[in-house]
Amino acid sequence: MSTIVIAAIVFSILVLLLAGGVWIAISMGVAAWFGLQFFSSSPPAVNLVQSIWGSNASCTIAALPLFVWMVDILYSTKLSDEMFEGLSPWLGWLPGRLMHVNILGCGIFASVSGSSSATCATIAKVALPELKRRGYDEKMCLGSLCGAVTLGILIPPSIIMIVYAVAAEVSILKMFIAGILPGILLISLFSGYIIVWALLNPDKTPKEIERIPFMERLRRGRNLIPCLILIAFVMGTMFTGYATATEAASFGVLGAIVIAWWSGALTRENFWASLMGATRLSCMILFILAGASFLSSSMAFTGIPKALAEWVASLGLSPLGLIAVLAFIYLLLGTALDGISMIVLTTSIVLPMVEAAGFNLIWFGIFIVLLVEIAELTPPLGFNLFVLQTMSGRDSNYVALASIPFFCMMVLALVIVIAFPQIATWLPDVLIQKAK
């Protein structure tokens, strides 16, 4: 039986199980077991144990639950309220005024959360009521929030970047550094669109500007200090080479606990709730990674990745053509799967093709993360649409329409990163070389 036929059978089983509502990790495990049992001489039980142990028994993967716990601790603090109060006095002069707080606030919070959902819930909770109270256009407020909260998975530290780095066996630190310039690019595109929109629609932006003395601005700006210190603390320890990503994550947890205690939000109840919440989410992600590792092992023994890579090579696609096809596939997957599932389901198949085409795996990681960001705004499973639907009282179609301009900005950012890959690769190479 040809390898392509075997691949079709294994993936048909996987798709049927997923369509039937079976857990993603279980679906991958069953498909992997079937492939090993019937199309290879390798014992499935041995591979299952090795895959589970190999995917989870790692100091590198320990960074994931620690960053998740840091996010859960920060969620219980007043950090988002303080950021809005600290940023708003400094951004009122820009066309679009306080809508830029959505963008910059999400960018800052993303630097300490690593999660799109956490960024969405915390910033939207503060910004939406305040902007509506001041008379800002609701559709633009929702659209800017919907786009900006995706920065949580691009600006380091990012949970999805950790998942990709583990799956692709690349440096987590390099992935984190690679996300900085694309993150700044995306923030600039979002704010630039708001400026253009505000100049074209002056009647939809409140006319009055709150006159705040300079000293009062400085006083309110002090609210940003805890967040900025935590960002500098976590990222500084990594970028200077003082700590690995895992060690920096533990520093981040310590810093988050200190911030929660300092703000008066740390209690025994929410400390325990944050620990249990982080445990549940981390177990879910690690379970999916174990299933993906087992599936990767199965495909390696059946020769599926090699056969697929040879098949793609036989199509005669240029490297740019391959990237275009992969972008289409990921956008299609984004309509039905979450970002972590997209990554763990595809990396074992896609990475051999990407490496054969000569692409840098760090750059490809940023490429995937940008596509996952776009998927966060893609119906019917765009998670940010659901969160903002709940918080605004509007239906998901209204929120999806509001997000279209920012969806286009993200596509533009993706095109720019494809055209100029140095945006993702230059900074990691420079900083890692200096650290050595």
pLDDT band at 2 (very low <50, low <70, confident <90, very high): confident
Q: What is the pLDDT of residues 279-306, one digit of tens each?
A: 887 787 778 778 877 877 787 777 766 6
Nearest to 359, CA basis, from 321, 386, 390 = 321
Q: How much is the average pLDDT of 112-128?
A: 66
Least confident of 17-21, 74-78, 195-199, 423-427: 74-78
User: What Cα–Cα distance (Å) separates residue 348 from each residue in 39, 119, 219, 359, 415?
Assistant: 18, 29, 51, 15, 24
Cα–Cα distance, 263 to 272 (Å, whole number)? 17
Query: What tokens were used for 69?
Result: 């716990």
Q: Hey, how many other C-beta atoms are within 10 angstroms of the C-beta on 262?
A: 11
Looking up tokens 């830029």 gives 100
Stretch 181-199: mean pLDDT, rounded?
90
Q: What is the pLDDT of residue 182?
A: 92
The predicted structure's pLDDT at residue 331: 79
* Residue 181 binned pLDDT confidence (cut-offs 50, 70, 90): very high
For residues 115 and 23, give the distance between their C-alpha atoms in angstroms, rounded to a whole number. 22
| pLDDT of the residue at 113 | 61
Residues with Cβ < 8 Å from 172, sequence gap 6 or more? 60, 63, 161, 162, 165, 166, 245
- Assess whether pLDDT exceeds 90 at residue 70: no
Confidence of residue 312 (pLDDT cuts 50, 70, 90): low
Query: Between these two residues, 129 and 75, which has the higher pLDDT value?
Result: 129
% of residues, the chain, pLDDT over 70? 80
**Model pLDDT, residue 366:** 93
Give the integer Cα–Cα distance in Å for 227 and 220: 14
- Give residue-wise pLDDT tens across range 191-215: 899 889 988 888 777 765 566 676 7
Instruction: Name the residue with higher pLDDT: 44 or 304.
Output: 44
User: Among 60-64, 114-118, 367-371, 372-376, whose mean pLDDT is lowest?
Assistant: 114-118
Q: With contact defined as beta carbons under 8 Å apart, do 308 and 2 qualify?
A: no
Q: What is the pTM of this model?
A: 0.72
Quote the mean pLDDT of the chain. Answer: 78
